[in-house]
Structure formats: C-alpha cells, structure tokens
Amino acid sequence: MLNSVFFPLTSPEAFQSFSSRGFDILVPQGRFPSGARVYVSGPFAQKKGVVIDSDSNRNMVGTEANSTENMIGAFLEIMNILKEDFFVDLNKELNYVELIAHFLVFTDANPLAALQDFTKTRNRKAIDEILQTQTSDYRVSIVPSGMLPSGRKWFEINISPKLTMPTKAYWVEVVYRDETHDRVTSFAEKSIQTISRLIEIVEENSRGKS
C-alpha cells in the first residue's frame, strides 16, 4: 500500500515495464487507454504462477500465488520496478505491506481435540452455565498484545480444524502487516516453520491421549 498522491502504475508504461522483466501481460494490448492519469487496476501481469494485481483507488499493488517462494520473488521484483522504473521512494511513500495467507496442515493428531484441550479456560464453567450445555473453543486466535487491528503494524493467526475434515487437518489463516517490506517478507519466508511450531505447541496437551 502506497501513500503517493498519484498512483505510479500508468498505461502503457506499467505494461512495458513488467513485460521487459519477463512478466506475461494479462490485459489485451490495444484495448486499454493510455495517458498520464490512466492508471492500471485489476490483475494485469503474471510470472511463474504469480498474478500481479493493482487497485489504483487504494494505491495498492499486490501478488497472489500458491507458492510462498515465487510470491516473495515476484513481490521483491515489484519493489524494484517501483523504485527503478517509476522512481517511487519506498522509504517515504510506502504506507504498509500486508501478507494474507492460508495454510492447510495435515497431522496425525486430532485437531479438534487438540484445540479443545489447548483452549480450556477458567471461565468455561460460567460459559457452560449461561448456554446450558458443555462447551469448548473451536479455534485459537493469536494477535499482538496492545496493538490495534486497524494499525499499520498488526498480525493475526487463526488456527481451527478444517471444516470438512476436523479430525485430520488444520485450517490456518494469517494476516501480517508492517510498515516495512523487509519484516513482512522475512515473516513470509519463515511462515511454514512458524505455523508448524505453533501447531506443535497446540498439540502438546493432547499427546499421549487416544
């Protein structure tokens, strides 16, 4: 997300820039207007399975991919393109960078039971009395203490059983946002290891149970 007065990706310069770096252009050439205030919006380029998307109304450029490694590589290329081809000073004009990721994690443990064991609280009895039934938590949500979800620095990791296979797999949703791209790319590079370690912690209470 940029805080530039004008969105830097204009037509046809954006298409020419990305094409020169090996990206396939998704917008049919000759059907997109050109001009200093004609901004590129929507999915417009791809490379190695990574789709480049932009939203000129929100001053945002993003990547979407199934591969973390390819996604990070394309993202770093975009940073270079913005600096080298469109003269964007990222130290001044970068508002924040946000990672949104989803993971499907299979396990030999029972995710539903593991999460219920992990999330037992002292107030459970009071909650059961209010609802007139025995209850348990369904998911674990992890956020930074003392920070607001609307801030430029924030993360949220939600771990829950996969809806269609709750005793076999976890569904993990991640949002990680920061003012610098270095911290976000560093987290993305280690995301699989981070999620694996978190699930190990969740399953510790259930080890040895049938």
pLDDT for position 29? 64
List residues bridging with 52 in a β-sheet: 45, 63
What's the confidence (pLDDT) of residue 137?
87
As a whole number of angstroms, the distance between CA 176 and CA 208 comes to 34
Region of 49 on the Ramachandran plot (φ > 0 left; ψ -120 to 50 alpha; else beta):
left
| Helix (H), strand (E), coil (C) string for 71-136 | HHHHHHHHHHHHHHCCCCCHHHHECCEEEEEEEEEECCCCHHHHHHHHCCCCCHHHHHHHHCCCCC
Question: Alpha-carbon torsion 160, 162, 163, 166, what sign?
Answer: negative
Give the residues of the chain that fall short of pLDDT 50.
Answer: 210
pLDDT of residue 37: 65
